[in-house]
Amino acid sequence: MSPMIRAICLGILAGAMALGASAQDTQFAPRDQQIPPPVCMNLHNAWEGQQAGCPPFIHDRWISDLQHWRAERRIRTTYDPARYELPALRWTQSSFMQPQMMVHDRYFYSPATGHYTVDRYLDDLEKRYGGIDAVLIWSTYPNMGIDDRNQLEMVESMPGGVEGVRQMVADFHRRGVRVLFPMMMWDEGTHQPTESWPQAIAALMKQIDADGINGDTQDGVPLGFSLAADQQGHPLAFEPEGGPSDEALSWNVLTWGQYNFSFIPDVDRYKWLETRHMVNISDRWNTDKTNDLQYAFFNGVGWESWENIWGIWNGITPRDAEATRRVAAIERGAAPFLVSPQWEPLYPMHNYGVYASRWPLDHETLWTIVNRVRYDIGGRQMDVPLTPGMRYFDLYHGVELKPETDGAWSVLSFNIEANGYGAILATPNEPGDAIKALMQHMAAMTRTPLASYSHQWTVLPQSIVEIQPTKPTAEAPAGMVRIPGGAFVFRVRGTEIEGESDPGVDVQYPWEDSPRRFHEQKMAVKPFFIDKFPVTNAQFKQFLDATHYAPADKLNFLRDWKNGAYPQGWDNRPVTWVALEDARAYAQWAGKRLPHEWEWQFAAQGTDARTYPWGDQWIAANVPTLDASRSMRGPDPVDAHPQGASPYGVMDMVGNVWQWTEEFTDEHTRAAIVRGGEYYQPQGSIWYFPQAYRNDEHSKVLLMAPSYDRSGGVGFRCVRDAE
């Protein structure tokens, strides 16, 4: 090395040390969850000074500094590895692929048959990207808060109740897949559990035999939750969404990785502190998963293969799916290497843009390699110390390599695809049967290059469920109001908390080519009749008495009734705890149907585009008093607020109970549009179900099964077609 280059390198190192001076135990301070590489590895433009590169001693000093930082952090935090040694939690150390799955996914549950379809769900993932190791079953947000059910009661509302959920978890276990559920400690506005949250969560997870808990929005799950699970005799793996403190690493054996992706892969802070710690990289909205997969492979961690995002489908492209299959196959096949305490990230490589991690294990060594540039790189890739008898295998392509000797080094040559992956195994022995099987599997897969698979992302189309017209009538049926119809500008926006204006958010009307949040269509609305008031408890009782209607899925049906009777004095209040299917059954009996959403809005808004049924200004007296308690008091009588009438005299359209209208479906999700908002608003979090009092807003309820869909905040009203 020339004196000038050496001086430049030392200057760069000194600069890095100065930047890290605020961190007493390291010269390369982590940036949140990520530890950056030496700055001399960055590519410099001409105006930024001479590009010197990193000589070996810089890499050695960087590794030495990280090792020192790790040792000191463990001392400072009194690190205890005991939970990583628990047999009940060792599954986490090889749990690489973990989707967050919405319970509403139609591949997971069939409302037509009323059964969980775990095999169908898993078979689809196996076919598309090689399967999963664990699943995070999301049963709460975004529906939670539409009534006073808390996060645990939402799980208990799933089909079959607790016993049905336990059987479903057993179906996953039968396929070798571990099961996590979320916990939301922001859920402090709905029912208060009878026990403390740690005890209540641990007890339910033991009942259903779940394996772990994801701490939604939490930067570390407190130790008390792990201790409560231990007291139940059912240890749980806790996985906070955000990075925990270094101290909490002792009991949070999993985390999500929500990274900033630079060109040179960063080192995961928690994986470096404890190589048995599993990270699942979560990057939900990005449509290109190359960064996720390459960072996971480089760090020897996993990926949150999350496609159904609150009912918004962000499907994996064919190329990303095939890359996932290959990354997962190698990580599973070489899992014992990926917890090596001697992990060496950024092992020196020959080519710019190619980065590797070295994982020694006994007398063998694995390298996981990523190519961050957008072109193929072949030829000489890496040097390893010359070791007599050592053999080298390209696991990615499934072939043995013949190294070139260069002094004290063996030089390994192989190909790595554009934005692709590589894996090298060094062993003095004949590979075992498991490695041979992995190589055979990889050789078959990699005969087709990743570039052959489409990387084009497409939106998943939706369709609206047809509402059959009724027999037309000329005269207004009892209790109904005639809406004259005519030209109407149907303008409405969805209230989804997340998703911004991305394609796929909200719903897709028949005149649109994709789901989107904002909608406008000028249409001719035919005349129709609409119920002046929402259907009441007394009216629904008449239906039950006349038809003896009994839903197949009875859980939560008329939950606020007792022994087939509604509460005393509730005859004129809207019926609630009725699913969309229950409402449709009533409407058919009455010779009516549920309204199209634009009919509901026409009846509420008229033709002057008013903001609320009564005008453009919000008037609190026109709607029920807000209920912000932890238990719903029940809706007001339907005629209690006559001043809230619409231009046509339709009553109780806003602020008492939500009202069922349209249903939308795509390949993975069913959802219904509810209109009008409700009186109940749990407090303390922005994540509860969003209100939509305005005439130009609607909210979307994700549908799973009647037991889950029924709500104390949702009722309905009917319409009938006019001649």
Give yes or no for residue 6 having a pLDDT over 60: no
pLDDT number for residue 444 = 97
List pLDDT tens digits, range 386-400: 999 999 999 999 999
pLDDT number for residue 186 = 97
Asked if 213 and 237 count as a contact pair (C-beta separation under 8 A), the reply is yes
SS (H, E, C) 417-428: CCCCEEEEEEEC
User: What mean pLDDT comes out for the span 631-660?
Assistant: 98
Pair type for strands 344-347 and 354-361: antiparallel
Beta carbons within 10 angstroms of residue 413's beta carbon: 15
Give yes or no for residue 16 having a pLDDT over 60: no
Q: Which two tokens stand for residue 500?
A: 């911004």
Total domains, the chain = 2
Asked if 34 and 266 count as a contact pair (C-beta separation under 8 A), the reply is yes
Going by the DSSP 8-state scheme, the letter that residue 181 receives in this structure is E
Cα-Cα end-to-end distance for the chain: 92
Domain CATH code at residue 648: 3.90.1580.10
Cα 625 → chain centroid: 35
Output 20 or 278, whichever has higher pLDDT: 278
Q: Is the bond preceding residue 348 a cis peptide, omega within 30 degrees?
A: no
Asked if 104 and 142 count as a contact pair (C-beta separation under 8 A), the reply is no
Give yes or no for residue 668 having a pLDDT over 70: yes
pLDDT number for residue 25 = 74
Give yes or no for residue 704 having a pLDDT over 90: yes
Asked if 621 and 696 count as a contact pair (C-beta separation under 8 A), the reply is no
Domain that holds residue 62: 3-76
- End residue of a domain, out of 76, 98, 131: 76
The helix (H) or strand (E) run that includes residue 354 is: strand 354-361
Asked if 111 and 675 count as a contact pair (C-beta separation under 8 A), the reply is no
| CA neighbor of 353 nearest in space, from 450, 264, 451 | 264
What's the CA dihedral at 102, 103, 108, 114 to 10 degrees? -160
- End residue of a domain, out of 61, 76, 91: 76
SS (H, E, C) 513-552: CCCECEEEEEEEECCEEEECCCCEHHHHHHHHHHHCCCCC
pLDDT number for residue 24 = 63
- Going through 616-669 in order, the beta strands assigned E by DSSP cover 658-665
Beta carbons within 10 angstroms of residue 670's beta carbon: 23
Distance CA 602, CA 487 (A): 10
Going by the DSSP 8-state scheme, the letter that residue 647 receives in this structure is T
List pLDDT tens digits, range 460-515: 999 999 999 999 999 999 999 999 999 999 999 999 999 999 999 999 999 999 99
- End residue of a domain, out of 76, 111, 128: 76
Average pLDDT, the chain: 95
Pair type for strands 354-361 and 364-371: antiparallel
SS (H, E, C) 242-308: ECCCCHHHHCCCEEEECCCCCCCCCEEHHHHHCCCCEEEECCCCCCCCHHHHHHHHHHCCEECCCCE
Alpha carbon separation from 673 to 496, 499, 604, 700 (Å, rounded)? 12, 17, 15, 5
Distance CA 495, CA 692 (A): 7
Under the banding of pLDDT at 50, 70 and 90, the label for residue 10 is very low
Distance CA 600, CA 609 (A): 13
Q: Which two tokens stand for residue 435?
A: 């490695």
| CA neighbor of 721 nearest in space, from 482, 543, 510, 489 | 482
User: What mean pLDDT comes out for the span 228-256?
Assistant: 96
| CA neighbor of 220 nearest in space, from 184, 246, 202 | 246
Asked if 184 and 687 count as a contact pair (C-beta separation under 8 A), the reply is yes
List pLDDT tens digits, range 564-617: 999 999 999 999 999 999 999 999 999 999 999 999 999 999 999 999 999 999
List the Cα angle 340/301/95 in 5-degree steps. 95
How many CA within 13 A on the CB side of residue 267? 27
Distance CA 261, CA 34 (A): 10
List pLDDT tens digits, range 507-564: 999 999 999 999 999 999 999 999 999 999 999 999 999 999 999 999 999 999 999 9
Q: Is residue 145 part of a domain?
A: no
List pLDDT tens digits, range 95-150: 999 999 999 999 999 999 999 999 999 999 999 999 999 999 999 999 999 999 99
Distance CA 612, CA 601 (A): 10
pLDDT number for residue 27 = 82
Phi, psi of 383 (to 5 degrees): -110, 140
The 3-state DSSP class for residue 56 equals: helix
Structure-token match 């609630």, residue found: 576
Output 10 or 96, whichever has higher pLDDT: 96
Q: Is residue 668 part of a domain?
A: yes
User: What mean pLDDT comes out for the span 322-342?
Assistant: 98
Asked if 680 and 634 count as a contact pair (C-beta separation under 8 A), the reply is no
Name the residue type at position 464: I
List pLDDT tens digits, range 344-386: 999 999 999 999 999 999 999 999 999 999 999 999 999 999 9
Distance CA 231, CA 250 (A): 18
How many percent of the chain have pLDDT more than 90? 93
Q: Is residue 358 part of a domain?
A: no
Q: Is residue 20 part of a domain?
A: yes
Q: Is residue 271 part of a domain?
A: no
List pLDDT tens digits, range 419-453: 999 999 999 999 999 999 999 999 999 999 999 99
User: What mean pLDDT comes out for the span 688-696?
Assistant: 97
Distance CA 534, CA 315 (A): 39
> Which residues lie across from 520 on neighbouring strands?
491
Going by the DSSP 8-state scheme, the letter that residue 162 receives in this structure is H
Distance CA 132, CA 499 (A): 25
Under the banding of pLDDT at 50, 70 and 90, the label for residue 54 is confident
The model carries a pTM of 0.94
Cα 97 → chain centroid: 13
Going by the DSSP 8-state scheme, the letter that residue 436 receives in this structure is H
Q: Is residue 32 part of a domain?
A: yes
Q: Is residue 88 part of a domain?
A: no
pLDDT number for residue 52 = 60
Q: Is residue 401 part of a domain?
A: no
pLDDT number for residue 57 = 83
pLDDT number for residue 20 = 39
Alpha carbon separation from 553 to 10, 425, 504, 523, 707 (Å, rounded)? 71, 54, 30, 38, 6
pLDDT number for residue 583 = 98
